């Protein structure tokens, strides 16, 4: 079976494998062929285990042939960000300090993927300790540009067709911005929906596990498998499964009402981004109102910074103290900044999170989702930066679900994501609205 005969929509692959129209082995071989064709230029992977992936796929095919019930990701290849522990592969966290590091057990999300029948193809490249220092990964749309960070390899691998799904993490903008730059769907769930046990911890009030896919439904399929209570993560709750794919695949009972919000960082958006959103709001017509956020939301950026740097100072302390010279200057400065944050300021930052969420709740009483840029514009030229996080920080700080949709183009024909923001804990409703928006705009074209 030729590579071109297999598309990489995860929901389609899952169904065709289940029906016996495709074998998991051929799907994995197809992914490996795509990797061989472009990986030398894109450098999306930190580690690949071809033989293990093929052997696992063969076992899954035998399992299906024996008539056993199949998991929701049976035979579907997935990439795992290299800050997420895997017992059978290195987890080096984007730093030479952890070169050759092999965890003793899988992260909880990896265990759930294996139980769902996924084929773990390998570890995708991430920035140093999942922060801002760029890696060698390049943007599939233009290898001269960054794919974003810190989940650089996960976004690039999905955009390049290496895998249909990949897992990332976000503490500031590490899922939504790479999805925007690479022209794919990126989904950051509500804080606490997906457990983080076995994942590099940066700042617990902010750290969130996210999903990359080519469609809203694909991202929902992956997040469904990852979500759920874990006693090892105190931010998760023992509640019923979210049924994200079921909700995302359904039709809204009524037309969603959207609120376009510029937010406190609108002046940082590129002129072309501002113009694109003006045209988008016009195209949505009665389905979208322009809503101003209260001035208090301007506090989010500084408060987020205090939570993040303090988290770095605590959780990355061993790197700073034991391997000071091997840590980049930007990480050292961030840790040192966090050491100077006073306890009262940290607690005040936590208070601001609840104040702003109360304000968002009042907006969500009227609107199904907020609409705003996912990034200031196209992926910047050059590999010296992973881009500006401005349009993601507020939503990560508040812990609300967000999704980036590849709906706009910049002046160079590169993707610019439209970010939808949902009510905290209403992830399925957000994904359903995102799918509605995608369908609405495709029909308008």
Determine the Cα–Cα distance for residues 148 and 155; give it in Å rounded to an integer: 8
Q: Are residues 222 and 174 in the same domain?
A: yes
Q: Are residues 278 and 245 in the same domain?
A: no
Q: Are residues 205 and 285 in the same domain?
A: no
Q: Are residues 287 and 227 in the same domain?
A: no
Whole-number average pLDDT of the chain: 96
Residue 431 lies in a domain: no
For residue 6, the model assigns a pLDDT of: 67
The parent domain of residue 177 ranges over: 3-249
For residue 361, the model assigns a pLDDT of: 97
Residue 354 lies in a domain: yes
Residue 411 lies in a domain: no
Residue 198 lies in a domain: yes
Determine the Cα–Cα distance for residues 360 and 257; give it in Å rounded to an integer: 15
First CA to last CA distance, the chain: 34
Look at strands 369-373 and 258-260 and give their pairing: parallel
For residue 4, the model assigns a pLDDT of: 43
Q: Give helix 24-42 / helix 10-19 axis angle, nearest 10°.
A: 150
For residue 444, the model assigns a pLDDT of: 73
Which residue among 194, 226, 249 closes a domain?
A: 249
Q: What angle do CA 209, 312, 230 make, to 5 degrees?
A: 35
Residue 436 lies in a domain: no
Neighbours of 409 (CB within 10 A): 14
Element at 282 (helix H, strand E): helix 271-284
Copy the structure tokens of residue 305.
């910074």
Q: Are residues 148 and 220 in the same domain?
A: yes
Contact 164, 158 (CB under 8 A): yes
Determine the Cα–Cα distance for residues 135 and 121; give it in Å rounded to an integer: 20
Q: Are residues 370 and 222 in the same domain?
A: no
Determine the Cα–Cα distance for residues 321 and 95; give it in Å rounded to an integer: 15
Which residue among 195, 222, 249 closes a domain?
A: 249
Q: Give helix 390-398 / helix 343-364 axis angle, nearest 10°.
A: 90
For residue 2, the model assigns a pLDDT of: 40
Residue 266 lies in a domain: yes
Q: Are residues 241 and 287 in the same domain?
A: no
| Bond preceding residue 279 cis, omega within 30 of 0 | no
Neighbours of 90 (CB within 10 A): 17
- 362-395 as b/e: b if 16+ CB within 10 A: ebbeebbbbbbbbbbbbbbeebeebbbbbbbbbb
Q: Where are the beta strands (DSSP E) in 59-180?
A: 77-81, 119-124, 165-170
Q: Are residues 147 and 23 in the same domain?
A: yes
Q: What angle do CA 433, 434, 440 make, to 5 degrees?
A: 85
Residue 412 lies in a domain: no
For residue 5, the model assigns a pLDDT of: 47
Q: Are residues 175 and 309 in the same domain?
A: no
Determine the Cα–Cα distance for residues 374 and 280; give it in Å rounded to an integer: 14
Q: Are residues 224 and 314 in the same domain?
A: no
pTM for the model: 0.97
For residue 214, the model assigns a pLDDT of: 97
Q: Are residues 357 and 272 in the same domain?
A: yes
Element at 248 (helix H, strand E): helix 244-249
DSSP β-bridge partners for residue 421 = 370, 402
Determine the Cα–Cα distance for residues 273 and 294; give it in Å rounded to an integer: 22
Mean pLDDT in runs of 10 for the chain (445 residues)? 62 97 97 97 97 98 96 98 98 98 98 98 98 95 98 98 98 98 98 98 98 98 98 96 96 97 97 98 97 97 98 98 96 98 98 98 98 98 96 98 98 98 98 98 81
CATH number of the domain that residue 170 is part of: 3.90.1300.10
Look at strands 119-124 and 77-81 and give their pairing: parallel
Look at strands 119-124 and 45-48 and give their pairing: antiparallel
The 10s digit of each residue's pLDDT in 38-57 is: 999 999 999 999 999 999 99
Which residues are known catalytic residues?
81, 150, 174
DSSP assignment, residue 80?
E
> Rg of the Cα trace of the chain?
21
Contact 359, 297 (CB under 8 A): yes
DSSP β-bridge partners for residue 370 = 259, 421
Residue 183 lies in a domain: yes
**Total domain count, the chain:** 2
Element at 290 (helix H, strand E): strand 288-290
Determine the Cα–Cα distance for residues 352 and 358; give it in Å rounded to an integer: 10
Q: Are residues 48 and 167 in the same domain?
A: yes
DSSP β-bridge partners for residue 166 = 79, 212
SS3 content of the chain, % helix, strand, coil (to 5): 45, 15, 40
248: Cα within 13 Å, side-chain hemisphere:
24
């Amino acid at each position: 079976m030729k590579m071109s005969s297999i598309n990489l929509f995860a929901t389609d692959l899952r169904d065709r494998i289940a029906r016996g129209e495709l074998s998991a082995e051929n799907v994995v071989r197809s992914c490996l062929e795509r990797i061989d064709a472009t990986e030398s230029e894109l450098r999306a992977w930190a580690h690949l285990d071809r033989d293990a992936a093929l052997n696992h796929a063969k076992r899954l095919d035998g399992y299906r042939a024996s008539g056993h019930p199949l998991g929701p990701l049976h035979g579907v290849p997935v990439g795992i960000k290299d800050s997420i522990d895997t017992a059978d592969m290195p987890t080096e966290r984007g730093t030479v300090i952890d070169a050759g590091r092999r965890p003793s057990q899988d992260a909880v999300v990896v265990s759930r993927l294996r139980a769902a029948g996924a084929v773990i193809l390998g570890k995708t490249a991430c920035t140093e300790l999942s922060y801002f220092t760029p890696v060698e990964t390049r943007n599939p749309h233009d290898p001269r540009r960054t794919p974003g960070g810190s989940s650089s390899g996960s976004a690039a691998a999905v955009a390049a067709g290496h895998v249909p799904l990949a897992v990332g993490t976000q503490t500031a903008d590490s899922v939504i911005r790479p999805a925007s730059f690479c022209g794919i769907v990126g989904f950051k769930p509500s804080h606490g929906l997906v457990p983080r046990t076995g994942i590099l911890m940066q700042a617990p009030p902010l750290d969130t596990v996210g999903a990359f896919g080519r469609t809203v439904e694909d991202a929902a399929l992956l997040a469904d498998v990852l979500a759920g209570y874990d006693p090892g993560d105190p931010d998760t709750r023992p509640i019923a499964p979210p049924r994200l794919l079921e909700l995302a695949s359904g039709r809204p009972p009524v037309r969603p009402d959207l609120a376009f919000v510029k937010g406190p960082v609108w002046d940082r958006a590129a002129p072309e981004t501002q113009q694109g959103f003006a045209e988008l709001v016009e195209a949505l017509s009665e389905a979208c109102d322009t809503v101003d956020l209260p001035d208090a939301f301007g506090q989010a950026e500084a408060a987020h910074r205090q939570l993040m740097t303090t988290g770095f100072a605590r959780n990355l302390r061993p790197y700073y103290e034991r391997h000071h010279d091997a840590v980049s200057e930007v990480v050292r400065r961030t840790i040192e900044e966090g050491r100077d944050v006073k306890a009262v300021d940290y607690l005040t930052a936590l208070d601001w999170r609840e104040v702003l969420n109360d304000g968002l709740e009042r907006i969500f009483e009227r609107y199904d989702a907020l609409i705003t840029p996912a990034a200031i514009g196209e992926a910047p030229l050059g590999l010296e930066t992973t881009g500006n996080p401005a349009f993601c920080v507020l939503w990560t700080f508040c812990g609300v679900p967000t999704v980036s949709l590849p709906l706009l183009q910049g002046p160079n024909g590169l993707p610019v994501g439209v970010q939808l923001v949902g009510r905290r804990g209403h992830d399925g409703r957000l994904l359903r609205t995102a799918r509605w928006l995608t369908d609405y705009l495709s029909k308008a074209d």
